[in-house]
Every structure is written in C-alpha cells, then in structure tokens.
Amino acid sequence: GYNSRIFEAVLEMRELYPSVALHPVIADVRDLPRLENIFSRSRPQVVFHAAAHKHVPMMEMNIEEAITNNIQGTRNIVEVSKKFDIERLVMISTDKAIRPVNVMGATKRIAEWMVLDAANRWNRAFSVVRFGNVLGSRGSVVPLFKRQIASGGPVTVTHPDMKRYFMTIPEAVNLVLQAASMGGGGQTFVLNMGQQVRILDLAEDLIRLSGLEPYRDIEIIFTGIRPGEKLSEDLWDEGYDIKSTGHPDIFQISPQDDLQGQPLYRAVEELLKLGREGEVSAIIELLDEIIPGSAIRSTPPPEITAVN
C-alpha cells in the first residue's frame, strides 16, 4: 500500500540526500481536520498535490470513491493551502481530464477547476500541470508487460491502434518542478510529451529487449478496449489558446469554458452529496453536463459490475 511506498521513498531519499531533514506523514486528503493539524505544525511553503485515485477501470467501479478522493480531497487541499498561506500549490493532472470518457478523468477536470478558481479568487500562485502516462509509475503498463514476459506470455494489449503519451519519472518530475516555478497562479501548464506511442510497438520492443521474439517466443493477444478508454488521448481541448513559456517542453493553455465561482461551488456540493448517497447515475449525468466534450454516459459499465 501507500505506506510501504512512502517508506521506500524515504529510505531512498535518506541515502541520496543525508543532510536533508525528511518528515513523512501519512494522512488522508479527505480528512480536513487532520490536514489542518499537519499544515499548522509544518507550515509548508510549497505543496504538490498528487493525491488521487488514478486507476481508470477501478474508478468506473468505485465512482463514489473517485468523487470523495479526487474532488473533496482537492477542495480540502485548496482550503488548507489558503488558510495557512501556502506560497505555491501545484496540482498534478492528467490528459484524461480532457473530453473525459471516464469518471477518473472527469473528477480530475473538476479538481483542476477548483485549484484555478482559488488562484484567481484569492490571487494565489496555485497552478495545474497536466501530462500523460509516466513510464514505470504505479499501474503503468511497462511493469505489467515485464511480468507477462517473465512468465512466458502472453502479453495483453487492449487494441492494436491504442496510443498513449509517455515520459519517464525523472522527466516528469523535472518538468513539474520547472512549471511550479513559473507564473503567478491560475495557469494550466501542459508538458510536451512528444508523439503518442503505440502500445503494441511498446510491447514488441519490450519483448525484443528481453532477448525474445514477439509472436514466436511470446504471444501478443488483444483483449479489447476497456470501459472508459479512448484509442488516443489529448492534452488540451481543441480551439484552446496554447502559449509557449520560458521552457521549450512546457506550454501554457488559456482557460475558456472553465466552471468557476458559484456555479462551480454548487456543482461540487451536489457531486459530494450524490457521492455520499451513492447516486452513481446522477453523478455521471452531472459530470457530462458540466464538463465540455464529456462523454462518460456513453461508456459501457465495466464487466465486473455484471456480477451485481
């Protein structure tokens, strides 16, 4: 779980940076009093908000959990950051927040809006950094493929034309830190992730890198697109104004139809209420209504729900 991963990260950091004082704290972003307690004691200057449920099919099956963690959790982080005068807040977002076809992406889009709305309303250096998949991160396809290759195959690819943006962990971290230092707040930064990579090519390359031959030593099978998946992702909505920044791999996009102020507050309150009541179809309807280009309703429910 999270605790062991944080523990591993701390051990690694202690080894690399023995002179830096590290204080790992385990807490739930949904627990506002706990967050206030942590912030009042440690008084951070910069907050990177990356706490989110990000597994797409899992969130299609646990919609209430996506709402409370990704939306309520973000609202809490924004509130304590304002209350304790945080200098900079950077929310980590995803390409799945654009024209979302899944609940996870939709909740991240609303989280983005809350951060940007707070930045503009309170004149704070709160911003959003949006990017695609990170190679080797939790739930990433590469460790899965490696496991499948090690056990003799088959390697499972959802669709021959499935494509995704990828970058490595060091690249992503570096660009997030760079973007964090830019601008006075209210900006959405998008990382240049190059060309989208075909997942099938990635699978074939990994098999070859393991010293084996695709389709001869290791079979590749296509399992079908999962609910909430697109064949390819976008990093911004069409027609958005994209500006360059002082860094060649970081762009800034101007908001156009972001929900803000009272309408945003009302939508968030309603979503949290529906989440508490377990009104899943009403949640999906409301998300589709308020997010531009959203098409969650057209996504078939995950197969596992067929058991219910």
Say whether pLDDT at 305 is over 60: no
Task: Tell me the mean pLDDT in the region 240-248.
Answer: 83
Q: Give the mean model confidence (pLDDT) for residues 162-180.
A: 87
Say how many C-beta atoms besides its own lie within 10 A of residue 31's C-beta: 13
For residues 256 and 190, give the distance between their C-alpha atoms in angstroms, rounded to a whole number: 15
Q: Which residue has the higher pLDDT, 237 or 81?
A: 81
Catalytic site residue 243?
no
Contact 67, 29 (CB under 8 A): no
The pLDDT of residue 196 is above 90: no
Lowest mean pLDDT among 57-71, 137-151, 188-202, 289-303: 289-303
pLDDT-based confidence at residue 302 (cuts at 50, 70, 90):
low
Q: Give yes or no for a contact between 192 and 261, defined as CB atoms under 8 angstroms apart.
A: no
Question: Which residue out of 54, 82, 83, 96 is catalytically annotated?
Answer: 96
- Better-scored residue on pLDDT, 242 or 93: 93
Average pLDDT of the chain is 88
Minimal CA–CA distance to 82: which of 139, 35, 34? Answer: 35
What confidence tier does 249 reach under pLDDT thresholds 50, 70, 90?
confident
SS3 label, residue 129: strand
The one-letter code for the residue type at 75 is R
pLDDT, mean of residues 15-22: 93
pLDDT bracket for residue 244 (50, 70, 90): confident
| DSSP character string of 74-113 | HHHHHHHHHHTT-SEEEEEEEGGGSS-SSHHHHHHHHHHH
- At residue 139, the pLDDT reads 67
| Structure tokens given for 120 | 């503009």
- Ranges 58-72, 78-92, 239-253: which has the least confidence: 239-253
- Rg of the chain over all Cα atoms, to the nearest angstrom: 20
pTM of the full structure: 0.86
What's the pLDDT at 214? 95
Q: Would you state the pLDDT for residue 237?
A: 67
**pLDDT band at residue 72 using 50, 70 and 90 as cut-offs:** very high
